[in-house]
Amino acid sequence: MDLALDGKGFLYEQIARALKVAILEGRLTAGSRLPSTRLLSRTLQVSRKSVLEAYDLLCAEQLAVALVGSGTRVADFNSRLISPTRAARVKPPSKFVTRMRNLPPIALAGYVRPEAQFKYDLVYGEPIIRPALLNSWRRKMSAASLRAGPFYPTAGGYLPLRRAISDHLARRHVVICDPANVLIVGGTQQALSLVARVLLDEGDIAVVEDPCYQMAMQCLSSHGAQLVRVSTDAQGLEVRKLPSRATKLVHVTPSHQFPGGSVMSLARKMELLHWARKTGAWIFEDNYDAEFHSGGRPDPALCTLDLAEQTIYAGSFSKTLFPSLRLGYIVCPVGLRNDLFKAKLLDDLGSPTIEQAALATFIHSRQYERHLRKSIDELTRRRRALHVSFKQLLGSEVDIGPCRRGMHAIVWLKNLSYEQLDLLVKQAASAGLGIYPVHPYFEARPSRPGLLIGYAGISAGQIGTAAEILARCIKKVRK
Ligand SMILES: Cc1ncc(COP(=O)(O)O)c(C=O)c1O
């Protein structure tokens, strides 16, 4: 008998698995005798104990029966009902799956990240990690686990957290909202997914910015939206280019266009709201890194200017704390509040309470604000290091896009072709530097290549070294 072990887990599990496949595929038929444990252990060159344990496991799963004096036999359990062929990839069982399978590879930051770890990685999407934060978080979690209890969560979210978020938004963002309208979700991704489920029918038009956060685009496409990309300029979304056809939803990043870096001007915000009012479209305001504004008050959020309540404001703790937390929130417009709450309930019965309770204390005790201030200072240092070192070492080779807030910037490569860009990425990788092209975020390739530089996961000193390596690699590529 041909038994191939798959090398996963304990030996006895591998043997039992291989025999199970032979039984389910019909190679071992009902009533047939399994090889003696001595023979099988010799054939597979494993201990007899492993084979004995494997047979015990098969008997426990009722696939075999051990009979005193006549060894172990395959049980009679209608195995003929199971097709002997291995599962092939099934045809799309639904329209949702068809749409999902047609999406380009799903990658958080626009590219599929290589397995290799780079010594200097300019990847976007890393949080800014401070060890003190993680220690404090551990303590908050253990206290929260006692407080939160083992029960099902409240689907809309843990009330003290919704209150803490509402206070925080009023204090820092002048967003005034009733905690009853704050819905806790599993990050912006779930926020958008719930909004799409609530608002979109197949074929509805949804607008995304160009360039755009790919996870948003893919989420909306998977829900059947017909996507229209609208370009952005130094003032944000070019509202005059919005479609004249009925549009259901517009996804925007007004506080810091992703990844272009512009901040939507007040005039544009008013124009967008006016357009939404006229057309009845909903606006998804993705405030993914609005916390990282330095000094004074932030620019007014769209939702604070929207008297018609057509704006769905979404915030996330992925950038300010860490993305593994998977917590964010929606400030629901009154007209959609109950629908969004119900969609969340049906989706997962609510986000984990212990994490929510820990976060509530973190915000309530103002530790969150202190952490934000420290993160903002650190990001400001890194941004300065980026400007100084890139200008000094790469001067005429690069143009740095808007870079006054957040944790990323676009660096345009003025003198390289796209072919040279591919070479540059490889050269940099072999020198231990991770760099990532920005053109996948655009509908059409920009006329010159560029890089999306994330600087949250790399220190100010390392940014200088990264610039040195990049300068060396550019020189090599241009030879
Ligand atoms: C534009 C944009 N929105 C939202 C997010 C955060 O998503 P989530 O809260 O699901 O982690 C990111 C993260 O990279 C982002 O770039």
C-alpha 44 to ligand 1 mean position (Å): 50
Nearest residue by C-alpha to atom 4 in ligand 1: 288
Question: Beta partners for 412?
Answer: 399, 450
pLDDT tens-digit readout, 232-277:
999 999 999 999 999 999 999 999 999 999 999 999 999 999 999 9
Asked if residues 426 and 420 have their Cβ atoms less than 8 Å apart, the reply is: no
* pLDDT value of residue 129: 83
C-alpha 126 to ligand 1 mean position (Å): 11
Nearest residue by C-alpha to atom 12 in ligand 1: 288
* pLDDT value of residue 117: 84
C-alpha 189 to ligand 1 mean position (Å): 7
Bridge pairing between strands 226-233 and 205-210? parallel
* pLDDT value of residue 112: 53
* pLDDT value of residue 88: 62
Q: What CA–CA distance (Å, rounded) separates 321 from 129?
A: 8
Nearest residue by C-alpha to atom 2 in ligand 1: 288
Nearest residue by C-alpha to atom 5 in ligand 1: 288
Q: What CA–CA distance (Å, rounded) separates 463 from 473?
A: 15
Using left for φ > 0, alpha for ψ between -120 and 50, and beta otherwise, residue 435 falls in: beta
Q: Which residues have a Cβ under 8 Å from the Cβ of 450 and sit 6 or more positions away?
A: 401, 410, 411, 412, 413, 437, 438, 439
Closest by CA position to 326, among listed 133, 187, 228? 187
Ligand 1 neighbourhood includes 253 CB (under 6 angstroms): yes
Q: Among 190, 212, 215, 326, which residue has the most ligand 1 atoms within 8 Å of its CB, making it the best to mutate? A: 215
Asked if residues 239 and 219 have their Cβ atoms less than 8 Å apart, the reply is: no
Question: Beta partners for 395?
Answer: none
Q: What CA–CA distance (Å, rounded) separates 58 from 61?
A: 5
* pLDDT value of residue 233: 97
Q: What CA–CA distance (Å, rounded) separates 191 from 186?
A: 7
Closest by CA position to 273, among listed 246, 233, 249, 306? 306
Ligand 1 atom closest to Cα of 190? 10
C-alpha 188 to ligand 1 mean position (Å): 6
Residue 418's identity, in one-letter code, is: Y
pLDDT tens-digit readout, 174-219:
899 999 999 999 999 999 999 999 999 999 999 999 999 999 999 9
Q: Among 189, 316, 410, which residue has the most ligand 1 atoms within 8 Å of its CB, making it the best to mutate? A: 316
Ligand 1 neighbourhood includes 35 CB (under 6 angstroms): no
Q: Among 124, 165, 258, which residue has the most ligand 1 atoms within 8 Å of its CB, making it the best to mutate? A: 258
Extract the tokens encoding 264.
Answer: 């939507």
> Which positions of the chain have pLDDT values less than 70?
79-89, 106-116, 294-296
Ligand 1 neighbourhood includes 318 CB (under 6 angstroms): yes
Residue 304's identity, in one-letter code, is: T
Ligand 1 neighbourhood includes 406 CB (under 6 angstroms): no
Asked if residues 354 and 145 have their Cβ atoms less than 8 Å apart, the reply is: yes
Q: Among 184, 288, 410, which residue has the most ligand 1 atoms within 8 Å of its CB, making it the best to mutate? A: 288
* pLDDT value of residue 8: 93
Asked if residues 124 and 407 have their Cβ atoms less than 8 Å apart, the reply is: yes
Nearest residue by C-alpha to atom 3 in ligand 1: 288
* pLDDT value of residue 426: 94
Q: Any idea which residue has 């939404």 for tokens?
A: 276
Nearest residue by C-alpha to atom 14 in ligand 1: 125
* pLDDT value of residue 290: 79
Report whether the peptide linkage leading into residue 352 is cis, meaning its omega lies within 30 degrees of zero: no
* pLDDT value of residue 298: 77
* pLDDT value of residue 85: 62
